[in-house]
Amino acid sequence: MTSSAPDKPETPESPKSEKPSILETNEAFYGELRPGVQDYWRKMAAPRFRVATVLRELEKERPRTIVDLGCGNGALCEEIHARLPDAEVAGVDLSPAQIAANTRRLSWGQWLVADLGTASPPALGRTFDAVVTSEVIEHVSDPAAFLRNARSLARRGSMLVLSTQSGKVQETEKRVGHLQHFSVEAMTRLLTETGWRPERVWNAGYPFHDLSKWWANRDPDASMASFADKPYGPKEDAICAALRFAFRLNSSRRGAQLFAVARCLG
């Protein structure tokens, strides 16, 4: 006669079956140094439009010290360095792989690993004339903490140049770690509550930025495969070129792209 094994007690699901955290989602997408992501920043209309806007705002004041929060592969820092070569440029990102790659490739910059959603790097406190953060705040679980940490890096009177998104968080954006988007009113209020004085908060990008987001979300799997997971080919390059031309016709007052320029109150 054989005895049967006792029933196993019920246990929580394995962590592998749980929904990944926002840090895990961000690290999975941005920490791999995917070829398609690199091409996206260099060729796609939306990031090129954001870069042009950030550079235009910085050039108005030509700050001597600039930090890019959520610097990723350092592409924006490179463009800032090229446009304002006399400025000292630093980049902060939560991905150790990105920061290590930036340190090897871009020796003129200062590169630090930090999660600015929770704390600011002590070594950088109150040292910058300008704080830049492009397409980052929509990824953090506590935007107010992020903006307070950003303010802790700025001298009194320093400028903040920020870009993010308005409208619904769509499927492709969820897959790359977006948690929330912001209206002009919500961003103005958030900046004010965290010690920044908003000077201008505005939407832009209608209709072609909005249309490109709608098109990408008709088939998120295909969009991610074509424009994130592999290097761009002739088809992707042609689409990028067409969108860069179309973006010249976009509104500077309406659309899902959101920009803000604010001043540190101290």
d(CA 49, CA 208): 12
In a domain, 12, yes or no: no
In a domain, 130, yes or no: yes
Highest mean pLDDT among 11-20, 27-36, 55-64: 55-64
pLDDT of residue 225: 84
d(CA 256, CA 159): 23
pLDDT of residue 116: 84
Q: Which residues contact 122 (CB under 8 A, 6 or more apart)?
A: none
| Token output for 96 | 């150790």
Q: Which residue has the higher pLDDT, 90 or 26?
A: 90
Backbone angles phi, psi at 74, to 5 degrees: 80, 5
- Total number of domains constituting the chain: 1
In a domain, 4, yes or no: no
Q: Which residues contact 190 (CB under 8 A, 6 or more apart)?
A: 143, 144, 147, 182
- pLDDT category at 13 given cuts 50, 70, 90 is very low
What CATH number is associated with residue 237?
3.40.50.150
Q: Which residues contact 264 (CB under 8 A, 6 or more apart)?
A: 131, 151, 154, 155, 156, 157, 158, 159, 160, 195, 196, 197
Whether 15 has a pLDDT exceeding 50, the answer reads no
In a domain, 6, yes or no: no
Whether 11 has a pLDDT exceeding 80, the answer reads no
- pLDDT category at 25 given cuts 50, 70, 90 is very low
The tens digit of pLDDT for each residue in 115-174 reads 888 877 666 777 899 999 999 999 999 999 999 999 999 999 999 999 999 999 999 999
Residue 204's domain comprises: 20-264
In a domain, 76, yes or no: yes
**Partners of 162 in the β-ladder:** 133, 260
